[in-house]
């Protein structure tokens, strides 16, 4: 675990846009997403563990809603996250530094899913008047 924290500190020195908590949250959201999809992180093949960018974004949305509720966007902003491309940058940093696995397609997936439209996080009200957040 110390090795992971040291690598994260190195990433933050090179790219200080995002806080340590943002990286920790992405790890937690990945775990949440894999569990939600019934995938097992301890499987031996990449295919058994892999989640797509879209799946991860949905997992991030759901996990943040559970963890922070109405405060999710405020927390993200505090961590330096202002649009979904920021999650892509975090994932890319983790992959590039060997802290997150990848498939052969992951660099193009990250660019395609997270950065094509540079969508921003938004607050929405559903038909019941309950505030949610999402990506637009």
Determine the Cα angle at 33 with ends 28 and 36, to 5°.
125
pLDDT score recorded for residue 86: 92
pLDDT score recorded for residue 51: 83
Number of alpha carbons in the 13 Å side-chain half-sphere of residue 52: 5
pTM score, two decimals? 0.74
pLDDT score recorded for residue 80: 96
pLDDT score recorded for residue 69: 92
pLDDT score recorded for residue 78: 97
- 17, 89 in Cβ contact below 8 A? yes
Where do the domains of the chain lie? 2-124
d(CA 73, CA 100): 24
Q: What is the pLDDT along the chain (136 residues), one digit of tens a residue?
A: 688 889 999 999 999 999 999 999 999 999 999 898 887 656 555 555 678 888 888 999 999 999 999 999 999 999 999 988 899 899 999 989 988 877 655 444 444 444 433 444 554 444 333 333 443 3
Angle between helices 2-14 and 20-36 (to 10 degrees): 120
d(CA 26, CA 53): 12
pLDDT score recorded for residue 109: 46
């Amino acid at each position: 675990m110390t090795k992971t924290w040291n690598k994260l500190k190195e990433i933050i020195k090179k790219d200080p846009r995002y806080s340590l908590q943002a990286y920790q949250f992405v790890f937690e959201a990945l775990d949440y997403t894999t569990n939600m999809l019934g995938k097992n992180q301890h499987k031996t093949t990449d295919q058994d563990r892999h989640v797509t960018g879209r799946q991860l974004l949905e997992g991030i949305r759901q996990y943040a809603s559970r963890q922070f509720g109405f405060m999710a966007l405020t927390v993200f902003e505090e961590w330096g996250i202002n649009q979904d491309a920021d999650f892509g940058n975090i994932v890319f940093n983790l992959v590039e530094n060997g802290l997150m696995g990848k498939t052969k397609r992951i660099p193009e997936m990250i660019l395609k899913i997270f950065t094509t439209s540079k969508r921003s996080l938004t607050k929405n009200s559903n038909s019941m008047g309950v505030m949610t957040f999402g990506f637009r």
